[in-house]
């Protein structure tokens, strides 16, 4: 089973931010910035083009709502949305995921994950604030 299927199934721990009928969002364990989320279809697909219309709509709606919560709850000034599709494009987990990366200032953020893991407490607090913003 892939790690994100494990997260969807509740077998791998996560800091959940959103759960809908077809889509789940949780914090990236190696955040590029505070509040970096991954938005995934609950069904295992690898590529964007494999999504149904309903899944694609919910994925994009969730990403937009999370970006709003990053603004209202975390003070983000902007957001990067990105998908790595295929190993050659940098996709490490072969379960489609949209990165939602809040930006706080004009400093450079490398389009790659941080080498070190975020602290559990920081992840928990950030997820709670984003959930609050989505209520």
Q: Which residues pair with 38 in a beta bridge?
A: 26, 99
Is 44 annotated in the active site? Answer: no
CB of 117 to ligand AMP, least distance (A): 9
Q: 65: which residues sit within 8 A by CB, 6+ positions away?
A: 18, 134
The 8-class DSSP code of residue 9 comes to T
Smaller CB distance to ligand AMP: residue 93 or 109? Answer: 93
Q: How far is the CB of 51 from ligand AMP (least distance, A)?
A: 16
* Coil/strand/helix, residue 70: helix
Q: Least separation, in Å, of the C-beta of 38 and ligand AMP?
A: 6
Nearer to ligand AMP, 33 or 73 (CB): 33
Spot the catalytic one: 15, 95, 97, 99.
Answer: 97
- Other beta carbons within 10 angstroms of residue 128's beta carbon come to 13
Round to whole Å and give the CA distance between 30 and 37.
10
Q: Which is nearer to ligand AMP, 13 or 53 (CB)?
A: 13
Q: In angstroms, rounded to a whole number, what is the distance separating the alpha carbons of residues 20 and 25? A: 9
Q: Say what angle helices 53-74 and 120-134 make with each other, to 10 degrees.
A: 110
Q: Which residues bind ligand AMP (CB under 6 A)?
A: 3, 12, 14, 28-30, 38, 84, 90-93, 113
Nearest distance, CB of residue 45 and ligand AMP, angstroms: 14
For residues 72 and 120, which CB has a smaller minimum distance to ligand AMP in the complex? 120
Q: Which residues are catalytic?
A: 97
């Amino acid at each position: 089973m892939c790690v994100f299927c494990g997260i969807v199934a509740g077998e791998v721990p996560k800091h959940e931010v959103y759960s809908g009928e077809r889509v789940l969002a949780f914090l990236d364990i190696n955040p590029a910035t505070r509040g970096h989320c991954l938005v995934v279809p609950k069904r295992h697909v690898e590529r964007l083009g494999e999504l149904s219309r309903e899944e694609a709509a919910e994925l994009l709606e969730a990403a937009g709502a999370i970006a709003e919560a990053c603004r209202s709850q975390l003070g983000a000034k902007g957001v990067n949305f990105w998908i790595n599709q295929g190993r050659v494009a940098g996709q490490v987990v072969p379960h489609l995921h949209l990165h939602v990366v809040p930006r706080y200032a004009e400093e450079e953020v490398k389009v790659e994950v941080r080498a070190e893991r975020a602290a559990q407490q920081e992840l928990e607090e950030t997820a709670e604030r984003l959930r609050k913003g989505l209520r």
